[in-house]
Chains A and B, each alone.
Chain A
Amino acid sequence: MRKKKIKGSNMILSALQKENVDIIFGFPGGAVLPLYDKLYDDPVKHLLVRHEQAAVHAADGYARVTGKPGVVFATSGPGATNLVTGIANAYMDSVPMVLFTGQVAKSFIGTDAFQEADITGITIPVTKHNYLVKDAAELPGILAEAFYIASTGRRGPVLIDIPKDVFDQEGYFDYNREVDIRGYKPNYEGHVGQVSRAVKAIRKAKKPVIFGGGGLIRAGASEALRELAETAKIPVILSLMGLGAYPGDSPLFLGMPGMHGSVTANYALTEADLIIATGVRFDDRVTGKLESFANNASIIHIDIDPAEIGKNVAIDIPIVGDVRLVLEELVKKLRPGSTDAWLKQISTWQSQFPMPLGSGKNGQSLKPQFVIRELSRLGGENAIVATDVGQHQMWAAQHFVVREPQTFLTSGGLGTMGYGFPAAIGARLAAPDKRVICITGDGSFQMNIQELATVVHNDFDMIIAVINNRYLGMVRQWQDIFYEKRYSYTSMEGSPDFVRVAEAYGAKAFRATTNEEATAAIEKALTLKGPVLIDFMVDPEENVYPMVAPNHSISDIIIGGERI
């Protein structure tokens, strides 16, 4: 018996159910009225944000924590264009996401109708794939493909643009999650021959190092990574995107490499005779000057995306495949390694070059590094951290001890100010039993500050730590170092009193200006329910060190700062 015909809107909601979607992040408008009308009686949850950009970042945070695609609804025109930054952000960091935008009715497309924007055209460069649905009959197929594409291979955002009349158009809903797309066949198993070559290279290596990234987290490869590192006794370096893939308090962990990485990580990459790169893409912030990057090393590169292999750095042993499966294969074939001399060299560097804790030049002032360390010490257990972008992000990466995968959310590829706070909202919904801490800056926070309404209205438990240096600190740092302290438009003078803003929205808030106040405020916040903001008034001119100047070799690292 043939099933009953249903409307386009109902097809979407049924597909969400089949895909086990439990929350939609969205903001309504004219073109999505038919869809929102159906949502009114649907059991699926919907979080209403205050700006569409926040919906995408929240869906992104949710996806990074759960590994499931984040789902977003927005209207046509301005609703859709407000998503673009968030989509680009998810694309750069390979975050699975399915976004639904309303479009003007089919007969109006191409006429510059009210609230018409060519969102499929606009987002081609920043989506893994996108669709404009011309007929409800195509919807079931497109919906299944979109979820499949977003959540397999190298993850990424997929957008579906739906004209208003298609929401109301009727059709049969035959949903089949087993999709077969001719031009999309991700390759999961590593090539056997290449894996054996890698095993040989690892056995032979005297100074091996693992360099892992966000791909490890997307692939759920942490356990395999740990076995590899611990069996073969190989130290681990993680990119910003990889933090959490290996426990940050393990003795084999050397920190983050690159521009603001640890001295040890940069020296280890430079001195290594073998780099096992997994789920990384050799970003310029990591490699520094390419000609002098890891000149002594053979490189094994394991990645799901063949286009990343050899893109920036020449690779000796490429392995295309799911990093978890490939690492598991490697682990099976490896024996305990003898890397003692190398590990000794590394621990010498570690004690010689600890992370600088601040310059101390302004006497007693509150140091941002201290604030992050206290947040980590007091609140780091069972916590998810979402950061914004700037100096505070780098200090968070350097000083917060991240122990588990999917607990450090940060905008790595695009570096989007305004990401952190909404991402923390997504994390809140994704992991009800975890503590959520948003580490933001006075500049970044103001890019999505309106979401205070969302967290207060929903009474979300979270700590919002504003590292308030009264500057667009990271840009000021570059002006300090490379532009003779000409602080052109980087002062945040005129920012509001964040404590009073938070209180006006209905959140609890404190200010801390000394070490003692900082510790006390964190301790207090940890005992409270609902959203709590702490405004940490830190030393305004503190810089992030260590630092590798752009286009310098990573061994040419400015250690900077003094111990206080």
Chain B
Amino acid sequence: MKHVLAVLVENKPGALTRVSGLFSRRGFNIENIAVGETLTPGISRMTITVEGSETLIEQVMKQLHKLINVIKVSNLSAEPSVMRELMLIKVRAEVGNRSDIQQIVETFRGKVVDVSPNSMVIEVTGNEEKMEAIKLLLEHFGIMEVVRTGKVALLRGSKITRET
């Protein structure tokens, strides 16, 4: 099963290396990882997607917790949460195809963010299934390049992942 972990870390040099190094060293597979600042200066939040059994995830979380720079680790998959990812897709777009592509993009509530004589860059956000679905539909026009941010997540409702 896939687990999405929120890891709050002190923004110290090497903190990212310590976290990602831990995964490879202990043989845990990171599916993806996204990092950014939080409301508190000096504290970053990493969202890490890992595949594994309950016991493995428990071990991952305990090992992460042992890192001195790690302040908090929580498993967002264990509770109702919203998960989103952003993807940019560069797709071949001859003049005749543009409106077809436009329509797909609208259905997925995406945005066209760049147009050139024979290509378009599309921005979509959503969950895993949505990403895969739009990719499938655009494939037949010819996808030239894709880039994804990795998943980020928040708990639903007013509950937050505190720093203590």
Q: Which residues of A sit under 8 angstroms from B25, Cβ to Cβ?
A: 125
Cβ-defined contact, A183 with B69, below 8 A: yes
Q: Which residues of B contact A311 (CB under 8 A)?
A: 59
User: In the complex the two chains form, is A124's CB within 8 Å of B21's CB?
Assistant: yes
Chain A stretch 279-309: residues in CB contact (< 8 A) with chain B: 305-307
Q: Which of A100-158 contact B (CB under 8 A)?
A: 120-121, 124-125, 128-129, 132, 134, 149
Q: How large is the interface on A (under 10, 10 to 19, 20 to 34, 35 or more residues)?
A: 10 to 19
A307-B63 in contact given A120-B14, A124-B14, A125-B21 (Cβ < 8 Å): yes
Contact of B59 with A305 in the complex, beta carbons under 8 Å: no
Residues of B within 8 A of A307 (CB): 59, 62-63, 65-66
User: Total interface residues on B, using CB and 8 Å?
Assistant: 21
| Shortest distance between the CB of B54 and any CB in chain A (Å) | 11
Which B residues are CB-close (under 8 A) to A310? 55, 58-59
Question: Residue of A at shortest CB range from B26?
Answer: A125
Measured CB to CB, the nearest residue on chain A to B43 is A182
A311 to chain B: closest residue by CB: B59
If A306-B62, A307-B63 touch, does A181 touch B17 (CB 8 Å cutoff)? no
**In the complex, chain A residues whose CB is within 8 Å of the CB of B62:** 306-307
* Chain B residues with CB below 8 A from A40, complex form: none
Q: In the complex, what residues of B have CB within 8 A of residue A181's CB?
A: 68
A184 to B69, CA, bound (A): 8
Contact residue among A120, A121, A184 (Cβ-Cβ distance under 8 Å from B68): A184
CB within 8 Å of A: which residues of B? Answer: 9-10, 13-14, 17-18, 21, 25, 55, 58-59, 62-63, 65-71, 163
Complex A-B: 11 CB contacts under 8 Å:
A124-B14, A125-B21, A134-B13, A149-B68, A182-B71, A183-B67, A183-B71, A184-B68, A306-B62, A307-B63, A311-B59
A interface residues with partner B (beta carbon < 8 Å): 120-121, 124-125, 128-129, 132, 134, 149, 181-184, 305-307, 310-311
Other contacts beyond A183-B71, A305-B66, A307-B62: 13, CB < 8 A: A121-B14, A124-B17, A125-B21, A125-B25, A132-B13, A149-B68, A182-B163, A183-B9, A184-B68, A307-B63, A307-B65, A310-B58, A311-B59
Top-8 shortest CB links A-B: A307-B62, A129-B68, A183-B71, A184-B68, A183-B70, A182-B71, A125-B25, A306-B62
